Structure 1
Amino acid sequence: MDEPQALWLPSPNYFPARAGHAPRWIIIHGTAGFSSAEEVGYYFQQADVSTHYTIGRDGVIVQSVREHDGAWGNGGVTTGHDPWWSRKLNPNNVTISIEHVKPHRDNSDELTETQKEASFRLIQHICDRHHIPKHKANASGGITGHRSMDPLHRSFCPGPYPWEELFEFLNDTK
């Protein structure tokens, strides 16, 4: 496992060794259902999808894919995507994906305080491990939501997320 204290529930759904690419972005997702990180982890063991991490409403972190591999969490790049994404490159090979358990199907749930704290710390650790810029995503890398690459089908992903608080936290820990 890459993140200390994460629960390891491995998924068979990943791109080995990222086809030689390094992660440059962190993608924030909302689960649009489910009640716990463990439930999502078990789902990733059976379904044709995965992310690297899932953070439960109770702060539990489940890791399903190693960071040196690409998870199957982002799908494709669709019309209206942010300009740094390319349909020629599988976005899963250049990203680390983090799901946040949100029980409502429309991802309308706010993060719990415990979930937010776990998310911020995990993002900080991933940025430090992979030299991912600790800022809003742009062509050089950074952190953004799933809707950044798929505004057609994932406009609701991740739903509410405390972006300003995240970047304040990351700036305070540089």
Structure 2
Amino acid sequence: MISERRIASLRETGRLSGARWCPSPNYGPRPEGANISLLVVHNISLPPGQFGGPEIENFFCNRLDPAAHPYFETIADIQVSAHALIRRDGEVVQFVSLLDRAWHAGRSCFDGREECNDFSIGVELEGADDIPYTEAQYRALAGIAHQVMMAWPEIDAGRITGHSDIAPGRKTDPGPAFDWQYFMACLDTRSGSGELA
């Protein structure tokens, strides 16, 4: 079981246990009274469909070189972030404290409440809608989700959702390749440890 000390540390610092810290400037304070109560799963790959390079981190930190790929010219000036990224090998990179408001959801609505960035945690999977995710990613996501659920009990399995669910018609991630049933099974098995991988 995840320790009380680790839960307290997460609530105090917003820093995930075991994550590599790569601070993004793209965040702000949560509005007063906006309790953390939602976990949103995304995907991202830069260039699209390619994995393993530094481009995602560069994008979230406003360092993306628009000349490096034609697609980058269309996004280089966009300022976005997520709280964390899970690489294909399961490595977790954290960009924004969970206590702060990352810029991951955009215009969005969950359970009748708009502006999901205000009250959610955003986790990106390095991937694409139609490319299967890795076992390591499911394990890491389940570990993060367990930590978050212990620290912020308002989040239960019913309040873990995809970007496509809070921004239908505008976003499609994490896509049909994401196996929600398998992820929930991983989450059930992680409930005794709370580790990232």
TM interval, shorter chain, is: 0.7 to 0.9
CA distance in 1, matches of 2:53, 2:19: 11
Task: Please list every run of 5 or more consecutive structure 2 residues that lacks an aligned counterpart in the other structure.
Answer: 1-13, 63-77, 193-197
Task: Please list every run of 5 or more consecutive structure 1 residues that lacks an aligned counterpart in the other structure.
Answer: 137-141
Closer, same or farther: CA 51–85 of 1 in aligned 2, 3 Å? farther
Give the TM-score normalised by the residue count of structure 1: 0.82
Q: CA deviation at 1:37?
A: 7.9
Q: Give the equivalent residue in structure 1 for 2:7.
A: none
Of 121, 130, 147, which residue of structure 1 is paired with 2:143?
121
CA distance in 2, matches of 1:108, 1:118: 20
Q: Give the equivalent residue in structure 1 for 2:155.
A: 133
Q: Give the equivalent residue in structure 2 for 1:169.
A: 186
Of 90, 94, 99, which residue of structure 1 is paired with 2:119?
94
Q: CA deviation at 1:71?
A: 0.6
Letter in 2 for 1:147: S
Query: What secondary structure, in the 3-state scheme, does the structure 2 residue paired with 1:19 have?
Result: coil
Does 1:31 find its partner at 2:50? no
CA distance in 2, matches of 1:169, 1:133: 17
Q: CA deviation at 1:38?
A: 5.0
Residue deviations 1:70-111, cap 9 Å, x none? 11000002xxx65x1334xx2101100000001x4xx21111
**Alpha-carbon contact 1:37-1:55 (below 8 Å) kept:** no
Q: CA deviation at 1:166?
A: 2.4
CA distance in 2, matches of 1:112, 1:95: 24
**Alpha-carbon contact 1:70-1:92 (below 8 Å) kept:** yes
CA distance in 2, matches of 1:62, 1:38: 12
CA distance in 2, matches of 1:37, 1:58: 13
Deviates more, 1:63-72 or 1:25-34: 25-34
CA distance in 2, matches of 1:62, 1:39: 13
Matched ranges for 1:1-174 at <5 A: 2-16=15-29, 18-20=30-32, 21-32=34-45, 33=48, 34-36=50-52, 39-46=55-62, 47-77=78-108, 84-87=111-114, 90-102=115-127, 104=128, 107-136=129-158, 142-154=159-171, 156-159=172-175, 160-172=177-189, 173=191
Give the TM-score normalised by the residue count of structure 2: 0.73
Q: Which has the larger radius of gyration?
A: 2
CA distance in 1, matches of 2:41, 2:18: 20
CA distance in 1, matches of 2:94, 2:60: 10
